């Protein structure tokens, strides 16, 4: 683990599982409880906005009942103590990285606690229900949607992510199934550019063969152990 000066970390739903947030594709996960095309596509939102706004209201409310776990706090420690460049990219819309102490988090699939106004296109911090059609704090139109990235939409800050993947010495993927692109392609992007690649996941992901190394187990155990290795190298 010597000569690492630039790390990109990608996290997914698995890092928040031990905090009590449902993953998407596990048995009993969100996509068994709700049809993905109904709640996570622009077409689903156009068809039944009440259903979609209610789905995200429920998930936003659930955030109040959960706490960051040892994996989130270990990544915050890495941010504080690692001397090199670190980019933490999360696919998660929860705020557990921030509440675990990370200051610099790139939410490529948006955030539950952000609202996007379809009238004025301004984003506002948001912690209240949306199904009751509250007015936009900027233009007063009742046109708010959750500021999240649905299938068919462009994830956020892709240029910044791809630039960091080009510079990375190490790419680490934590708690993600590798089922959703473009995030699922980051490992190949980083590896082709010369980075070492490491998977930390409960089980082999769909892309596990692309990684130089894969460790399988709960993030709450694997991530603090890996962070200790990086900081003591």
List interacting residues with ligand BJW (CB under 6 A). 12-14, 17-18, 23-26, 29, 40, 91, 93, 109, 148-155, 158, 175-177, 179-182, 201-203, 205, 218-219
Task: Return d(Cα 180, Cα 10) in angstroms, integer.
Answer: 13
Residues 6 and 168: beta-carbon distance below 8 Å: yes
Q: How far is the CB of 231 from ligand BJW (least distance, A)?
A: 21
Q: How far is the CB of 171 from ligand BJW (least distance, A)?
A: 15
The smaller minimum CB distance to ligand BJW, of residues 6 and 176, is found at: 176
Q: Which residues neighbour 165 within 8 Å (Cβ) at sequence distance 6 or greater?
A: 8, 171, 186, 189, 190, 193, 195
Q: How far is the CB of 83 from ligand BJW (least distance, A)?
A: 27
141: left (phi over 0), alpha (psi -120 to 50) or beta: beta
The smaller minimum CB distance to ligand BJW, of residues 22 and 85, is found at: 22
Q: How far is the CB of 116 from ligand BJW (least distance, A)?
A: 12
The smaller minimum CB distance to ligand BJW, of residues 3 and 50, is found at: 50
Q: Cis ω on the peptide bond leading into residue 182 (within 30° of 0)?
A: yes
**For residue 91, how many C-alpha atoms fall within 13 Å in the half-sphere facing its CB?**
24
Nearest residue to ligand BJW, using CB?
A: 14
Task: Return d(Cα 90, Cα 13) in angstroms, integer.
Answer: 9
The smaller minimum CB distance to ligand BJW, of residues 64 and 152, is found at: 152
Task: Choose the catalytic residue: 109, 210, 212, 216.
Answer: 109
Residues 171 and 177: beta-carbon distance below 8 Å: no
Is residue 72 among the annotated active site residues?
no
The catalytic site residues sit at 109
């Amino acid at each position: 683990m010597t000569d690492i000066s630039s790390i990109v970390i990608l996290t997914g739903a698995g890092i928040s599982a031990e905090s009590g947030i449902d993953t998407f594709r596990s048995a009993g996960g969100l996509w068994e409880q709700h049809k993905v095309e109904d709640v996570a596509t622009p077409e689903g939102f156009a068809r039944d906005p009440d259903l979609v706004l209610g789905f995200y209201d429920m998930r936003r409310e659930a955030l109040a009942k959960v706490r960051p776990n040892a994996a989130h706090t270990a990544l915050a420690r890495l941010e504080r103590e690692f001397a090199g460049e670190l980019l933490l990219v999360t696919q998660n819309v929860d705020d557990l990285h921030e509440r675990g102490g990370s200051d610099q988090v790139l939410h490529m699939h948006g955030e539950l606690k952000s609202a996007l106004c379809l009238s004025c296109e301004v984003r506002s911090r948001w912690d209240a229900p949306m199904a009751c059609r509250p007015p936009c704090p900027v233009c007063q139109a009742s046109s708010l949607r959750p500021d999240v990235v649905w299938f068919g939409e462009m994830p956020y800050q892709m240029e910044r992510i791809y630039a960091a993947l080009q510079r990375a010495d190490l790419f680490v993927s934590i708690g993600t199934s590798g089922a959703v692109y473009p995030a699922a392609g980051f490992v190949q992007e980083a590896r082709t550019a010369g980075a070492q690649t490491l998977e930390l996941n409960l089980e082999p992901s769909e892309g596990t063969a692309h990684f130089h190394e894969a460790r399988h187990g709960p993030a709450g155990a694997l991530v603090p152990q890996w962070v200790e290795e990086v900081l003591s190298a």
